Chains A and B, each alone.
Chain A
């Protein structure tokens, strides 16, 4: 399987408002793929469609080989354990401390002993760059950037093959943001991950993305590596990469 995501002629409408009209894209295995585009062009919406949070009105979508048009409950549950999703603000469960937030999938889907769960949770907390002391804290007691890192640790706990990130570096300080980029790259090589992310962070785009899709005017107006995309004739592309060497 060389393509982890294939979107074919996706149509999305909210009432009369058309967000996507025959949108096509694909994500290859092992790559870090970026969704870019002006505000309101439907990046978050597209990502939600990929993770079964929202229905599209036309076309077909395949994720990790599962056809989302015909997927049943059983298969969907199977699929959900193979990806990790990081929401823009972490979306941690407020009634659980950070430790339990990260451990919850392990407890629900496996019978791993608590000792090994403690090892796994501690490890994930370490690789996302958090202090071990956050384990006992509740989401309301930590900062926005820490919530994001904890959310990433939770998304990584089942060692997913596919990771979805919605604006992972927004709200992080520049140093943490660069660390985040390095972390993403490290994870990708070490764990054979494929990553789809929405981002507006130019440094992050340059540092991490292998391929990007520019969403504009309800379609993908350009797809490919950064150099190819920068060369396309599009208003958004021109102003977004303005002043950056290509």
Chain B
């Protein structure tokens, strides 16, 4: 009634009186089980022709636990339909099969734990709420640690601060220089087309000077540092958490806040203004190059006009954002690192979050500054 001949497997089933005789030859293992499974499903889909299935498995060349489990589940299904199975197999194969009938565990799959939309929105909201609370706790610990630093200046880890300065800021200068120079070039190039139409060439200096010093250089620098150094903080500290380095430090009496957290935050707070200054210089340089090529404004003329038209306050406003941006980037990076749980996947998730959240918070902070300075009339 059923016959299959394959490369390394053959299966024949025929009805003899009130029994079905099934003969399998060849390899009955995990590789061929899927095929046999579909053949058997066909067998059971018809009304049962008989009450007994007799299996001849004596000449099998391979037999493994997947095959045994297939026969076992077939038997269970047959029983539920009022039939029985008889197996004739080699002794060692019979052992594998017999063992299944003495099992004392409940088999089964796992329930799908995916949530519906409303449930996942709810879950996410609660998660966000908890992570906000955790962040507040983090900031609290930070200031507690800062008081220790201030009350006892000897506990300041100058070496760590210096190291963090080098890693997170000095080594970032190359990429900062490149990006801000290009921003200067692009900006000057785009505006030069417009300015030329009005014959207002010289105003390129005012335009570039104010927008770059006040807004663009701090923002671009912060975004680059968040992507480069904030994420590095998150990943470093996250890995230290997984390898239990943080726990080791704590048990040896080294407070991670004093040794890891504050040095990084202080480093970025010190360095961010300097990075912004550097970004200012590079962006203006880019602007100058384009101004002289496109608009025929010599470097001398550019600098003279810069002196006249761009007030000092714009420079200071830009620089003054530095420590705040630095704090935001470092704090969020480290906080995300500390949020890493005991598995590698959460390093990836938290590193990504550190960058996204840091950039977002930097932009919010920038908007707040903008409102404050405008209201102050500067």
Contact = CB atoms under 8 A, between A and B. Distances in A.
B31 interface: yes
A113 B65 contact: no
B31 A110 contact: yes
B335 to A, nearest CB: 20
Interface stretch (A9-17, A131-139, A199-207): A131-139
Contact of B70 (A116, A158, A189): A116
B66 interface: yes
A119 B29 contact: no
B110 A123 contact: no
A83 interface: no
Contact of A112 (B37, B109, B111): B37
Given A123-B65, A136-B111, A190-B92, A116 B33 contact: yes
30 contacts: A94-B343, A99-B110, A106-B30, A110-B30, A110-B33, A110-B34, A112-B66, A113-B37, A115-B73, A115-B109, A116-B33, A116-B37, A116-B66, A116-B73, A117-B109, A118-B108, A119-B72, A119-B73, A120-B65, A123-B65, A125-B105, A132-B105, A132-B106, A132-B108, A135-B110, A136-B110, A138-B343, A159-B30, A159-B65, A192-B92
A95 B343 CA distance: 8
B66 A140 contact: no
Contacts of A94: 343-345
A114 B30 contact: no
| Most interface-central of B69, B70, B72 (chain A CB within 10 A) | B69
B30 A158 contact: yes
Interface string A79-98: 00000000000000011010
Given A110-B31, A113-B34, A120-B65, A140 B103 contact: no
Q: Give 3 nearest A-B pairs by CB, closest first.
A: A122-B107, A159-B64, A140-B343
A179 interface: no
B199 to A, nearest CB: 62
B113 interface: yes
Contacts of A112: 30, 33-34, 37, 66
B96 interface: yes
A189 B100 CA distance: 16
A58 to B, nearest CB: 35
Contacts of B109: 99, 114-115, 117-118, 121, 135
B341 A140 contact: yes
A157 B29 CA distance: 11
A123 B113 contact: no
A191 interface: yes
Contacts of A95: 343, 345
B95 interface: yes
A123 to B, nearest CB: 6
Nearest to B64: A159
Interface residues of B, number: 32
A190 B105 CA distance: 20
A97 B345 contact: no
A217 interface: no
B342 interface: yes
Contact of B66 (A120, A126, A135, A192): A120
A123 B34 contact: no
A97 B34 contact: no
Contacts of B70: 116
Contacts of B342: 140
B30 A126 contact: no
B118 to A, nearest CB: 23
B65 A191 contact: yes
A120 B65 CA distance: 8
A2 interface: no
Contact of B69 (A116, A132, A189): A116
Interface in B343-369: 343-345
| Most interface-central of B30, B70, B92, B108 (chain A CB within 10 A) | B30
A89 to B, nearest CB: 12
Contacts of A239: none
Contacts of B30: 106, 110, 112, 120, 157-159
Nearest to B99: A190
Interface in B326-346: 341-345
A77 interface: no
Contacts of B66: 112, 116, 120, 159
Contact of A122 (B33, B105, B341): B105
B110 A97 contact: yes
B107 A123 contact: yes
A200 B37 CA distance: 43
Given A116-B37, A139-B343, A191-B64, 8 more contacts: A106-B30, A109-B31, A112-B37, A112-B66, A113-B37, A114-B109, A140-B341, A157-B30
A111 interface: yes
Contact of A120 (B69, B105, B111, B344): B69
Interface in B53-100: 64-66, 69-70, 72-73, 92, 95-96, 99-100
